[in-house]
């Protein structure tokens, strides 16, 4: 925590080294988070990339109430939500497939190297209701406390805890059924 405070202090005063350190320290975590929430590594890369560029452009906007890790996770989640909304609109319009073909063709190399375990888990997570998936990912991968997640989702802690419990039960059920196949 102390290191993060120092990093933020230096970053806000123009230190590129501090920005690099923040990036290296948290980018994997944010990529995991975005990838799990979207079940799409390519889109997750774009979101984390875009987020860090935007983060770097406006250090003066950085105002932390909690931990840096939580702050970064919240920012990425908000971007994921926006992407999901856009996707829903595009799917309605039948454009999603065309756009993803174009974006894949422009990307010979992937940032995240394929990981079978991650894919299996992401597939299982993708079957959960969005709010349950978000709670599980944010709590377990983002390291966010239920209270912070409750604030982000605009619900009570009890609701978040229920979503977490139901989500875990469903996830276990999905993974167990896959294991039996």
Buried (b) or exposed (e) across 112-125, using 16+ Cβ within 10 A? beeeeeeeebbebb
Which is closer to another protein, CB of 33 or CB of 152?
33
Among 26, 52, 71, 146, binds another protein (CB under 8 A): 52
How far apart CA 146 and CA 37 sit, in angstroms, is: 17
How far apart (Å, rounded) are the C-alpha atoms in residues 173 and 125? 11
Task: Concatenate the DSSP letters of all residues of 50-69 into one string.
Answer: HHHHHHHH-GGG---SS-HH
Nearer to another protein, 34 or 152 (CB): 34
Among the candidate windows 82-90, 94-102, 106-114, 144-152, which touches another protein by CB under 8 A?
Answer: 106-114
Please classify residue 17 by burial: count the beta carbons closer than 10 Å to its beta carbon, then call 0-12 exposed, 13-18 middle and 19+ buried.
exposed
113 makes contact with another protein (CB under 8 A): yes
Residue 49 in contact with another protein, rule: CB under 8 A? yes
Contact criterion met (CB below 8 Å) for 80 and 51: no
47 near 34, Cβ under 8 Å?
yes
Question: Considering only 30-38, 67-75, 80-88, 154-162, which stretch makes contact with another protein by CB under 8 A?
Answer: 30-38
Least distance between another protein and beta carbon 149 (Å): 14
User: Among 8, 135, 136, 148, which residue sits at the site for another protein (rule: CB under 8 A)?
Assistant: 136
Among 2, 60, 92, 181, binds another protein (CB under 8 A): 60
Question: If 0-12 CB within 10 Å is exposed, 13-18 middle and 19+ buried, where does residue 111 land?
Answer: middle
75 binds another protein (CB under 8 A): no
Residue numbers of the site for another protein (CB under 8 A)?
Answer: 12-14, 16, 19-20, 23-24, 27-28, 31-32, 35-36, 49, 52-53, 55-60, 109-113, 115, 117-118, 121, 125, 136-137, 140-141, 168-169, 171-172, 175-176
């Amino acid at each position: 925590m102390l290191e993060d405070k120092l990093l933020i202090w230096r970053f806000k005063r123009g230190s590129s080294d501090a920005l690099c350190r923040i990036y290296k320290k948290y980018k994997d975590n944010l990529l995991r988070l975005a990838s799990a929430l979207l079940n799409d590594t390519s889109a997750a890369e774009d979101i984390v990339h875009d987020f860090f560029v935007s983060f770097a452009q406006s250090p003066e906007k950085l105002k932390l109430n909690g931990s840096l890790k939580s702050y970064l996770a919240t920012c990425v989640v908000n971007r994921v939500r926006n992407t999901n909304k856009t996707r829903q609109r595009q799917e309605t319009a039948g454009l999603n497939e065309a756009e993803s073909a174009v974006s894949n063709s422009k990307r010979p190399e992937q940032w995240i190297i394929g990981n079978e375990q991650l894919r299996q888990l992401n597939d299982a997570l993708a079957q959960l209701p969005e709010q349950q998936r978000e709670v599980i990912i944010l709590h377990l991968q983002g390291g966010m406390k239920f209270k912070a997640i409750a604030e982000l989702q605009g619900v009570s802690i009890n609701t978040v805890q229920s979503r977490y419990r139901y989500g875990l039960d469903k996830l276990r059920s999905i993974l167990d059924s896959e294991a039996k196949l």
